[in-house]
Amino acid sequence: MKVSDEKLSRVEIITNMAKVEALRSELGKYGITGMTVFEAKGCGVQLGTQEYEVEKTDEPKLLDKQVVMVVMPTSGVDKFLEFVEKELYTGHIGDGKIFISSVTNAVRVRTGEEGKDALTEGKAY
């Protein structure tokens, strides 16, 4: 597998269902050409304790979450993150987490295009 010429990043956003729609409708503005959303269960630092509960649970409780995954050129990540952070922010526990990681390459199976070409309309037809 070759390494992409242009640096790519994977942004994984863990949030709740109500926020996914807001993200989906705005993603086009940041040059993002695709997204994958999957249902998940999980907990964070509070181990699933709700903000209104009196005592923090010792045993992790897994809460329903959504994971939004996008792969995009690294150059656009900062601007995109700024938007996502503001969109998800409520100030309450459970606003979510964002993980950013490097992607070595991407391949469009149908055409064999790689790197940024695989994420956009591409040149092959």
Partner 1 sequence: MHEKNLGLRNVIATGVGLIVATSCLLSLGLGASSIGVTFIISMAVAGLLNALLAMSVSELNALMPNLTGGLAQYTLACMGPFVTIIVMVGGYVACNTVISSVECAMFGNTMSQVLPQLNIPGSAYCVVLLVLLIIANLNGVDVFAKVQDVVAYGLIISLMLMGVMGCLHIGTGEVIEQPAVLASDFKSVTGLCGVAFFLFIGVEYVVPITDKVKNARVNVPLGMVISLVIIMIMQSLLVIGFKNYTTWEELAASTTPHVLYGAKLLGKFGTIWMAVVSILAVTSSVNTILSSLSYICEGMAKINLLPDIFLKTNKKGAPYVGILLIGGIMILINVTGLSTSESLAFFILTGCVFWMVAYIVTHINVLILRKRLPKAPRTFKAPFTPFLQIVGILGTVWMIWNIDSDPTVRMSIYKLCGIIFIVLMVYAFIWTKAVIKKPMFKAYPVKDVMAMENDLYHEYRKNSVKKGTDKYEYIS
DSSP state of 3: P
Sheet holding 8-15, edge to edge: 36-42, 63-73, 8-15, 97-103
The distance of closest approach from Cβ of residue 72 to partner 1 in the complex, given in angstroms and rounded to an integer, is 19
Q: Which is nearer to partner 1, 50 or 75 (CB)?
A: 50
Q: Which is nearer to partner 1, 45 or 109 (CB)?
A: 45
Q: 């249902």: which residue's tokens?
A: 39
Residues 56-95, mask of contacts with partner 1 (x by CB under 8 A): --------------------------x--xx--xxxxx--
Query: What residue spans of 27-102 are helical by DSSP H?
Result: 77-88
The distance of closest approach from Cβ of residue 16 to partner 1 in the complex, given in angstroms and rounded to an integer, is 12
Enumerate the β-bridge partners of residue 66. Answer: 15, 39
The distance of closest approach from Cβ of residue 121 to partner 1 in the complex, given in angstroms and rounded to an integer, is 32
- Give the range of 21-29, 50-58, 103-111, 116-124 binding partner 1 by CB under 8 A: 50-58
Which two three-digit tokens encode residue 50?
Answer: 């709700």
Q: Which is nearer to partner 1, 86 or 110 (CB)?
A: 86
Q: What is the DSSP string of 95-118?
A: --EEEEEEE---B-TTT--BTHHH
Element of type H or E holding 14 = strand 8-15
Q: Which is nearer to partner 1, 6 or 85 (CB)?
A: 85
Give the interface with partner 1 as residue ranges (CB under 8 A): 50-55, 82, 85-86, 89-93
